[in-house]
Amino acid sequence: MRDFNGKTIIITGASSGIGEGLSHKLAACGANLILLARSGDKLKKLQTILEKEHTINCKYYTVDLSDRKAWKETLIKIEEEHPTIDAIINNAGFGVFDTVQEADYQDIEKMFQVNVLALMEGVQSLLPHFVSKKQGHIINVASFAGKIATPKSSAYSASKHAVIGFSNALRLEVENKGIFVTTVNLGPVRTNFFQVADPSGNYQKSVDQFMLEPEVVVDQIIKALFRRKREINLPRWMELGSRFYHLFPWLSERLLRKQFNKK
């Protein structure tokens, strides 16, 4: 088990799934935590458990990242109340699977606000702090959807393309300032993500055998934390598929058309 004693780490989307798993594992490693999510009740319960089981400080902030004003106010509060922050794990995000023609534009706007703009604003807010300390780690949870676009995921894929592009540019800007930037590109993970993205459950059933368990993702993120790791790509076979896709996009779309249309 790694030792993060004395480190303070922000986790967005901390109330369930990968974020909740990270909270438990990081607390066990001695990290002090700043947890963010929409559900105050879940965060309060999680805080109580973590502080009871581990000798750490755990604070939480209830905020909906789709509400820019509330998010900005929360960032100001975090900066005022926590003079030392060592890392942020931008895990919050959601998707809605639909065709371009049938998509609700409000869903598209909300996806970009939560998946992209809130992430960027959080990073921009914390960056001066990291630069002044000459250390820090920014971990942005993206998706293989940001590398391989498929039908019914146009807006979601675009949002994750944006996260990857932002992260890649940021990494080059801060690489000589002691700051690490890591993107986490995932295939389907067994979380409540699909309750919103796929209410019918059809897509989830079609990929059930390929789904990652949240614990696998959590372990890899913790392994990479405070180390110079450009990307985490899970599962491995999807990373290989992504490389093939970028080398032979036309051929990939022809060969994988059936798989691409599983949503």
- Residue ranges and CATH numbers for the domains of the chain are 8-260 (3.40.50.720)
The secondary structure element, H or E, covering residue 103 is: none
- Which residue in 60, 61, 156, 245 is the catalytic one? 156
The whole-number pLDDT of residue 251 equals 86
Q: Does the active-site annotation cover 60?
A: no
From 19-33, 162-176, 230-244, the region with the lowest mean pLDDT:
230-244
d(CA 233, CA 42): 29
d(CA 113, CA 141): 15
From 32-36, 65-69, 243-247, the region with the lowest mean pLDDT:
243-247
Cis omega (within 30 of 0) on the bond before 235? yes
d(CA 93, CA 180): 21
What tens digit of pLDDT does each residue of 187-246 get?
999 877 766 656 666 667 666 677 899 999 999 999 999 999 999 999 999 899 899 988
Does the pTM surpass 0.85? The reply is yes
d(CA 123, CA 135): 14
**In three state form, how does the secondary structure of 181-235 look?**
EEEEEECCECCCHHHHHCCCCHHHHHCHHHCECHHHHHHHHHHHCCCCCCEEEEC
In 3D space, the residue among 18, 30, 114, 17 whose CA is nearest the CA of residue 9 turns out to be: 30
In 3D space, the residue among 12, 17, 47, 40 whose CA is nearest the CA of residue 196 turns out to be: 17
Q: How far is CA 94 from the centre of its chain?
A: 10
* Amino acid letter for position 175: E
Q: What angle do CA 123, 193, 262 make, to 5 degrees?
A: 120
What tens digit of pLDDT does each residue of 39-67 get?
999 999 999 999 999 999 999 999 999 99
The whole-number pLDDT of residue 2 equals 95
When pLDDT is averaged across residues 87-94 and rounded to a whole number, the result is 98
